[in-house]
Amino acid sequence: MRKNIVAGNWKMNTTVPEGVQLAKEVCQAVSAVESLKCDVIVGVPFTHLTAVREVIDINKVGLAAQNCADHTSGAYTGEVSAPMVASTGANYVILGHSERRGYYHETAQILKEKVDLALQSGLKIIFCCGESLEERENGTFKDVIEAEIRDSLFHLTTEQFQNIVIAYEPIWAIGTGKTATSDQAQEIHALIRSLVADKFGAQVADDTTILYGGSCKPSNAPELFAKPDIDGGLIGGASLKAADFMGIVTAF
């Protein structure tokens, strides 16, 4: 049985003290829920990982970095490697976010290398994919999503792939207030699951958690999460307030 997951992506927000406070609030709120129907993860800036790890119960709230380097160590000023992330006690890394693909020119090949290094370090990966508005409107969106997944993930073994969570995040819905309709999201989630089934088999596809991301909030999460192939959310803006985030966590 696949897991439901709600993961926060704080992006470049909060100072370390603010982030520690937010993580504490999330962990306390998660601990207070009687029968939690999903795993909860917070995706924090690199600078926050160690401090946040100290205030959360990792069995209740997973900890994700939002990126890692495509090298393990050495002369790469300003970079943070997968082994460094793992050494903080984080257990996940978000890779392939559209902001990283767009602003920092991360290609499928670079992401493939990051995926390999993250898995070698024992991290699980939340791998993002999704189309731009132009790609949605010109009808190429399914090919774009297929290529993003195939070119960075389909070299993995079945065993390795079991450490991958996929997040479908239509770029036109991220931070815009425009959510994909639950039917639009379900269509793509079903497509992703069928691609995984073709490559890794029906059982692996059935066990793969596929998250929706893009202006997800407490008011629209129940309808999205009710769809058969939507197994939770990757949450940006609404993960910055514990109450909003918990409104999504408890939407199942």
67-102 in b/e burial notation, b at 16+ Cβ within 10 A?
A: bbbbeeeeeeeeebbbbbbbebebbbbbbbbbbbbe
Q: Which residues partner with 63 through β-bridges?
A: 42
Q: Which of 196, 237, 242, 248 binds ligand PEP (CB under 6 A)?
A: 237
Which residues are within 8 A (CB) of 25 and not within 5 positions of it... i.e. 6 or more apart?
242
Binding part of the chain for ligand PEP, among 82-90, 129-137, 168-176, 183-191 by CB under 6 A, reads 168-176
Q: Which of 17, 102, 122, 175 binds ligand PEP (CB under 6 A)?
A: 175
Position 236 contacts ligand PEP (CB under 6 A): yes
Position 117 contacts ligand PEP (CB under 6 A): no
Residue whose CB is less far from ligand PEP, 214 or 232: 214
Residue 236 Cβ vs ligand PEP, minimum distance, rounded to whole Å: 2
Residue whose CB is less far from ligand PEP, 9 or 81: 9
56 by DSSP, 3-state: which? coil
Q: Catalytic amino acids?
A: 97, 169
Footprint of ligand PEP on 200-219 (CB under 6 A)? 213-216
What is the residue type of 39? D
Give the residue closest to ligand PEP by C-beta: 236
Residues in contact with ligand PEP, shown as a per-residue x/- string from 123 to 162 under the rule CB under 6 A: ----------------------------------------
The torsion angle over the Cα atoms of residues 77, 82, 87 and 92, rounded to 10 degrees, is: 130
What is the residue type of 11? K
SS (H, E, C) 189-209: HHHHHHHHHHHHCHHHHHHCC
Footprint of ligand PEP on 9-68 (CB under 6 A)? 9
Residue whose CB is less far from ligand PEP, 67 or 215: 215
| Residue 57: burial class (beta carbons within 10 Å; 0-12, 13-18, 19+) | exposed
Residue 21 Cβ vs ligand PEP, minimum distance, rounded to whole Å: 20
Handedness of CA 48, 96, 37, 205 (dihedral sign): negative
- What does the binding site for ligand PEP look like in residue numbers (CB under 6 A)? 9, 169, 174-175, 213-216, 234-238
